[in-house]
């Protein structure tokens, strides 16, 4: 592309920087408010910079046991993540590599379930879990990950597997490897980028989920971070410094994970967007 | 000895077992389930009572909330999709230029998409707060009086739309990828013919991007029709039912009021509603999507 003139380049840069500042602003505002007293927060016109009251965090932790919620959220997220990666890789391998009767049928069925809105199936699924007495446990939130791991993930992993030459697994097959061994020793190492992408998105999806925990988890000490935060806001509606400190803590894990896996996030979006 | 195909078939069904179980228990049974439950009166405690199509008749004749909800959902979804597409397309065009610090800017636009929506909703609710919020402070410089962003039914949905658009960094990344796929030779051809940047945009970039626009349109329509978390955190359907979106109404009827039959009828209508809108989008697509080589 021809370089735009210096003038336009400057204009574009200024616009981008301004919008970027606006995009980042809510995060600044969250952290800033979390370091103020409630009187300072409730001042008009607003005070832009805080007085750095870091003591708000230990105080918030005494009423908002973040560590507990973090542990709860990990208890759901980590097993689910394992389930999604294992079962969606297995299904993807089947669709990418094996020939069997009804293959097209199953593929269409699995992929079209991708378009199924959560809010449509949620009542019957809730009733199934409640009829076997598993409501108010993490089981209903974890098990779906082990049941195929989501159509979109199967689709993404399959697309990536199709780019790997079949000669690789033919060779392993000649050496007497079975399909599980081919998948584990030959394919998985080669599709690491897509596994990381799927893993990061799955993690974020489970981490940020609110509807699932709201419906299945009722005891306070079993709440996930998002759920606890929503409850905390309704319960401590006026203590904004504590609410802001709790909100800041709740977004930190996602932001840290994002900066670690940034490349894969952006690649993953592109991958899922363009293959769709 | 077994043949290769027999081994393949057996392996295939073993490998697919989890996905097939998921399909049966998380999609097929629930679809039939939701339809059956929608024909009953059921609080989940006693036995369900079969009442035929009464829940549906109620939805369309006596349920005052339902009609509001359909209108509010459409208003929000169309507003969020159109604004989100305009925002993300313009930002991706700018981010496709050669400017300093590009990588940093690109990653900033994506952050709102990955943080827990409850956390970001909370800070937005404080920015929207009418007495001390920063939005009203900004407006005061323009000489505009304080607005009750989330408590005034004229502003509640636009406020949720603004927050949703802020969180649509994923669309920007997909548009950027689409822009990388526009062949430079086409753009050069426009220059040789004496065209300017507008000609490039109108006659090359937009047609080449139509498949990506379609994809983003579809995905963001499906997501925004199901908007739940912002309503749950910020407005709970208020003020005056202006943000009572269908996903939230279904949740409220089913899980707060324990009215599973009624809530399932909402789910079924909601599902048909989503299918119709998606079908309309697909039906119009052949008039405006440009596929290279066709």
pLDDT for position B11: 86
Residue A63 has pLDDT above 50, yes or no: yes
CB contacts under 8 A, B 166-185 vs A, are 166, 169-170, 173-174, 176-178, 184
A247/B123 touch (CB, cutoff 8 Å), yes or no: yes
Q: How far is A58 from chain B (nearest CA, A)?
A: 19
What are the extents of the domains in chain B? 64-288
B99/A91 touch (CB, cutoff 8 Å), yes or no: no
- Asked if the C-beta of B138 comes within 8 angstroms of chain A's C-beta atoms, the answer is no
Comparing CB atoms, the residue among A87, A214, A254 nearest residue B114 is A254
In this prediction the ipTM stands at 0.84
Q: What is the mean pLDDT of each run of 10 residues along chain B (294 residues)?
A: 74 89 90 90 80 82 84 93 94 83 83 90 87 80 80 86 90 84 82 81 84 87 89 83 88 88 90 89 84 58
Q: Is 3.30.565.10 the CATH classification of the domain at B64-288?
A: no
B132/A258 touch (CB, cutoff 8 Å), yes or no: no
Q: How far is A263 from chain B (nearest CA, A)?
A: 9
Residue A275 has pLDDT above 60, yes or no: no
- The Cα–Cα gap between B234 and B73 comes to 16
The maximal CA–CA distance of chain B, rounded, in angstroms, is 86
- pLDDT, tens only, A2-19: 455 778 778 888 888 899
- pLDDT, tens only, A20-42: 999 999 999 889 888 887 777 77
What is the reported pTM?
0.87
CB-CB neighbors (< 8 A) of A148 in chain B: 18-23
Nearest chain B residue to A115, by CA: B222
A208/B115 touch (CB, cutoff 8 Å), yes or no: yes
Nearest chain B residue to A253, by CA: B115
pLDDT for position B293: 52
- Mean pLDDT across A219-229: 89
Residue A60 has pLDDT above 60, yes or no: yes
Q: How many CA atoms lie within 13 A of B44 on its CB side?
A: 22
CB-CB neighbors (< 8 A) of B232 in chain A: 210, 214, 230
Spell out the domains of chain A, with CATH numbers in brackets. Answer: 6-57 (no CATH), 65-235 (1.10.3720.10)
- The Cα–Cα gap between A59 and A40 comes to 17
Q: How many CA atoms lie within 13 A of B21 on its CB side?
A: 15
Beta bridge partner(s), residue B40: B50
- pLDDT, tens only, A154-209: 988 888 888 888 888 888 888 888 888 888 888 888 888 888 888 888 888 888 88
Structure tokens at B8: 């393949």
CB contacts under 8 A, B 197-216 vs A, are 197, 212, 215-216
pLDDT for position B62: 79
- Cβ atoms of residues B149 and B69 within 8 Å: no
Which among A47-56, A79-88, A141-150, A223-232 has the top mean pLDDT? Answer: A79-88
């Amino acid at each position: 592309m021809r370089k735009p003139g210096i003038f336009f380049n400057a204009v574009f840069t200024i616009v981008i920087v301004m919008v970027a500042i606006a995009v980042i602003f809510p995060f600044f505002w969250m952290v800033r408010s979390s370091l103020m007293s409630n009187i300072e927060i409730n001042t008009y016109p607003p005070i832009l910079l805080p007085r750095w009251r870091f003591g708000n965090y230990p105080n918030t932790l005494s009423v908002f046991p973040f560590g507990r919620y973090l542990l709860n959220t990990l208890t759901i997220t980590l097993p689910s993540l394992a389930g999604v990666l294992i079962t969606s890789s297995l299904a993807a391998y089947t669709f990418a590599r094996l020939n069997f009767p009804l293959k097209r049928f199953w593929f269409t069925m699995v992929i079209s379930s991708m378009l199924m809105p959560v809010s449509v199936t949620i009542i019957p699924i809730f009733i199934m879990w409640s009829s076997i007495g598993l409501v108010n446990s993490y089981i209903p939130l974890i098990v779906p990950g082990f049941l195929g791991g989501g159509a979109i993930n199967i689709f993404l992993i399959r697309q990536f597997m199709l780019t790997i030459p079949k000669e690789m697994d033919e060779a392993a097959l000649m050496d007497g490897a079975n399909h599980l061994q081919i998948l584990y020793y030959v394919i998985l190492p080669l599709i690491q980028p897509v596994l990381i992408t799927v893993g990061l998105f799955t993690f974020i999806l489970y981490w940020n989920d609110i509807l699932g925990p709201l419906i299945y988890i009722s005891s306070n000490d079993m709440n996930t971070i998002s759920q606890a935060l929503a409850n905390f806001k309704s319960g401590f509606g006026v203590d904004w410094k504590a609410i802001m400190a709790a909100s800041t803590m709740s977004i930190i894990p996602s932001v840290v994970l994002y900066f670690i896996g940034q490349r894969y996030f952006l690649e993953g979006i592109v991958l899922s967007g363009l293959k769709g | 000895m077994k043949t290769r195909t027999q081994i393949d078939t057996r392996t295939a069904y073993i490998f697919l077992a989890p996905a097939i179980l998921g399909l049966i228990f998380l999609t097929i049974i629930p679809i039939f389930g939701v339809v059956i439950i929608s024909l009953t009166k059921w609080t989940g405690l006693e036995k369900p009572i079969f009442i035929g199509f009464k829940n549906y008749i109620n939805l369309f004749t006596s349920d005052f909330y339902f009609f509001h909800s359909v209108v509010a959902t459409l208003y929000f979804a169309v507003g969020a999709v159109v604004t989100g597409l305009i925002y993300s397309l313009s930002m991706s065009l700018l981010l496709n230029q050669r400017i300093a610090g590009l990588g940093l800017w690109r990653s900033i636009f994506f952050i709102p998409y990955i943080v827990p929506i409850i956390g970001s909703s909370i800070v937005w609710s404080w920015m929207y707060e009418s007495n001390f919020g920063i939005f009203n402070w900004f407006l005061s410089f323009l000489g505009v009086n304080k607005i009750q962003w989330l408590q005034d039914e004229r502003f509640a949905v636009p406020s949720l739309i603004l927050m949703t658009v802020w969180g649509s960094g994923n669309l920007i990344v997909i548009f950027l990828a689409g822009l990388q796929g526009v062949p430079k030779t086409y753009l050069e051809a426009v220059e040789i013919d004496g065209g300017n940047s507008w000609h490039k945009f109108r006659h090359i970039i937009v047609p080449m991007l139509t498949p990506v626009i379609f994809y983003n349109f579809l995905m963001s329509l499906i997501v925004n029709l199901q908007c739940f978390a912002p309503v749950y955190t910020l407005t709970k359907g208020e003020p005056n039912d202006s943000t009572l979106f269908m996903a939230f109404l279904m949740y409220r009827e089913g899980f707060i009021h324990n009215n599973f039959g009624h809530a399932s009828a909402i789910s079924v209508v909601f599902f048909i509603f989503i299918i119709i809108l998606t079908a309309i989008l697909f039906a119009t697509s052949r008039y405006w999507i440009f596929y290279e080589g066709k």
